[in-house]
Amino acid sequence: MSDPVTAFSATPVRRRALIAGITGQDGAYLAQWLLHQGYEVTGLHRRVSTPNLWRLASLGLVDHPQLLLVGCDITDLSATLRLMESVQPDEVYNLAGQSSVGASFDQPLTTLEINALGTAHLLESVRSTAPRARYVQASSSEMFGLVTKSPQDESTPFHPRSPYGISKLAAHWLTINYREAHGLHACCGILFNHESPLRGLEFVTRKISHGMAALARGEDIPLRLGNLDARRDWGHAAEYVQGLWRMLQHPEPREFVLATGHSLTVRGFLVAAARRAGFEPVSDGQATEEQLCDANTGRLLARVDPALYRPAEVDEVRGNARLAADLLGWRPTLLAEALAEEMVAADLVRATP
């Protein structure tokens, strides 16, 4: 493992940020934002068979002189302890996680180990070796789960519906407990869905934008989708990572909802994406029989596959980010339809991923 302190010794006055999950969607945008602000950024990434650097590469960051990538899996306490001690960060962003709700039903234990235990490792490492660091946890609107009132805010009760939601709730309360019990400056961003052209293909928005771009290029593989009636509050990832940064600049650590306040069905996102790809989608059939075809050519664009429904679904989430607006001055500007257009446009001009 390279030594982060030595690597940055020429610029001792810069603020130091540590990002867990830098190879993910949010990690890449956050690295871009922090480097732009003049930070030294240490990004930890786990060992995988092929380094997952496509997002950092697409933002032109891989060889940035103020960015250091260090191997560290957050399920390994010895590794997180050594890393925290050597970096001595001013700010720690925990974006690392098994982030797929769907996958968490098949891999509940891995999900809990990474998301809950991994978070405990990071918090324990901050407490033991860098207690003055400010810490922010990427909590999730999935914690609300089976909602009884909308919109949800910081005081809405939790009822998670997946192993993922449960793991995130454990991490959320661990973060609050390290603040209350050990005095850490620890915040939680309760993040509603946020997407971008850097989104992973396993999430529905990117699956749709990628699929519509492929159809527009002439490939004849209609999309298979699950529940089209689920509603999500979709914002843009680049705006949400700035919200996380603002939380750590605020003097008082606490929980903040980040959301747009608007929700759209998966079907609504699909229609916006299909239009951007040059189709005029019309729906036919009900629920699990539903399919969408192009009105002009009759071509099948997408159909529902009941096998892709989840064992327990979150039907709708919609957030109220008033507190973040009032205390942090954070206001999202990009909504779902604009996101769909940006994502399809990006997928039309590039190959996978």
Instruction: Point out which residues bind ligand GDD (CB under 6 A).
Output: 99, 101-102, 140-142, 192-193, 202-204, 207, 225-227, 230, 232, 266, 308, 310, 313, 317
- Touching ligand NAP, residues 24-53 (CB under 6 A): 24-27, 45-46, 48, 52
For ligand GDD, give the closer residue by CB, 120 or 230: 230
Q: Which does 84 bind (CB under 5 to 8 A by kind): ligand GDD, ligand NAP, none?
A: none
For ligand GDD, give the closer residue by CB, 102 or 222: 102
For ligand GDD, give the closer residue by CB, 25 or 242: 25
Here the tokens at position 319 are: 């957030």
Q: Which stretch binds ligand NAP (CB under 6 A): 4-12, 22-30, 286-294, 321-329?
A: 22-30
For ligand NAP, give the closer residue by CB, 130 or 215: 130
Q: Which does 225 bind (CB under 5 to 8 A by kind): ligand NAP, ligand GDD, none?
A: ligand GDD
Tell me the one-letter amino acid at 218.
Answer: G
User: Shortest gap between Cβ of 137 and ligand GDD (angstroms)?
Assistant: 12
Contacts for 226 with CB less than 8 Å, ≥ 6 apart: 204, 304, 305, 306, 307, 308, 309, 310
Helices (H), 115-265: 118-129, 163-182, 204-216, 237-249
Omega of the bond leading into 157 within 30 degrees of 0 (cis): no
The 8-class DSSP code of residue 221 comes to -
Q: Is 23 in the site for ligand NAP (CB under 6 A)?
A: yes
Tokens 């302890």 belong to which residue?
A: 81
Contact 164, 100 (CB under 8 A): yes
Tokens 């019309």 belong to which residue?
A: 282
Handedness of CA 186, 187, 188, 193 (dihedral sign): negative
Q: Which does 102 bind (CB under 5 to 8 A by kind): ligand NAP, ligand GDD, none?
A: ligand GDD
For ligand NAP, give the closer residue by CB, 67 or 95: 95
Helices (H), 11-64: 25-36, 54-58
Contact 171, 143 (CB under 8 A): no
Burial of 353 (0-12, 13-18, 19+ CB in 10 A): middle
For ligand NAP, give the closer residue by CB, 140 or 156: 140
Q: Give the contact letters, 232-271, x = binds to ligand NAP (CB under 6 A), - = no.
A: ----------------------------------------
Q: Is 21 in the site for ligand NAP (CB under 6 A)?
A: yes
Could you tell me if residue 140 is left (phi over 0), alpha (psi between -120 and 50 degrees) or otherwise beta?
beta
Instruction: Give the binding site for ligand NAP (CB under 6 A).
Output: 20-21, 23-27, 45-46, 48, 52, 73-75, 95-99, 114, 118, 138, 140, 191, 193-194, 200
